[in-house]
Structure 1
Amino acid sequence: MITISANAAKRISELVGEDGNVAKMMRVAISSGGCSGFQYGFSLDDQRREDDLVFERSGIQVVVDEVSLNLLDGAELDYVEDLIGSYFSLKNPQATSSCGCGSSFAI
């Protein structure tokens, strides 16, 4: 299961609601790469795949494929705004270490 913070739900709603945007949901996926072995990927999508699991909050949907969910179970998706910028962030309890920028992790 993935938890979606109020900030993340609000920002996804804004992105999906932009004029001309056909995307209906946010996709969170994990791929190999980055300096720690795995990296997070965030994208807007307009279609669900057969192996997707759907998580909802405040009317928005976040989809995650089964393979990625195995590495994300218990994570919280958040949207952070600070001095260096704004970005989606995952607080992943399964990650044993992460790189300095937080975009890649190890298990």
Structure 2
Amino acid sequence: MIEITDSALKEIREIQRNEKMEDHGLRIYTAGMSCNGLRYGLSLVDVKMKNDAVFDSKGLNIYVEDGLEGEKGGFIIDYIDDEHTKGFTIERIDGCESECSKT
């Protein structure tokens, strides 16, 4: 299961419009390791990789790197913009969190 918050969807749609990438989907991939385990990254892509799992959340195509789709219940993608943080967060449903800054 992939859940995307309204604030994340709004920011993604704005990036898609600004970059003329309205037809692109969002890809979740392994971005490395940290002391807490895997770190996840996000990117807008025009085609999915061969073995990516495909999901739809609120009308947005989401491609999940092969092997990650089985991550304990899925992911919640959020966007935070406050005095301490600005960027997307990717939280595994089981409670572990990874952050990636907006680029």
Q: TM-score range by the shorter chain?
A: 0.7 to 0.9
Checking the alignment, whether the CA contact within 8 Å between 1:5 and 1:79 is kept in structure 2 is yes
Superposition deviation, residue 57 in structure 1: 3.5
How many residue pairs match? The answer is 100
CA deviation map 1:36-74 (0-9, x unaligned): 221111112111122222233343222112311122633
- The residue number in structure 2 matching 1:16 is 16
CA spacing shift, 1:92–1:76, aligned 2, 3 Å: same
Q: Report the TM-score when normalising by structure 1.
A: 0.73
CA spacing shift, 1:12–1:27, aligned 2, 3 Å: same
Q: Unaligned regions of 5+ residues in structure 1, if any?
A: none
Checking the alignment, whether the CA contact within 8 Å between 1:3 and 1:76 is kept in structure 2 is yes
Structure that is richer in helix per residue: 1
Superposition deviation, residue 91 in structure 1: 2.6
- The equivalences for 1:1-107 within 5 A come to 1-21=1-21, 24-71=24-71, 73-95=73-95, 102-103=98-99
- Asked which structure has the greater CA Rg, the reply is 1
CA spacing shift, 1:62–1:9, aligned 2, 3 Å: same
- Identical residues among aligned pairs (%): 25
Q: Could you say what the CA RMSD is over the residues aligned between the two structures, in angstroms?
A: 2.6
Q: Unaligned regions of 5+ residues in structure 2, if any?
A: none
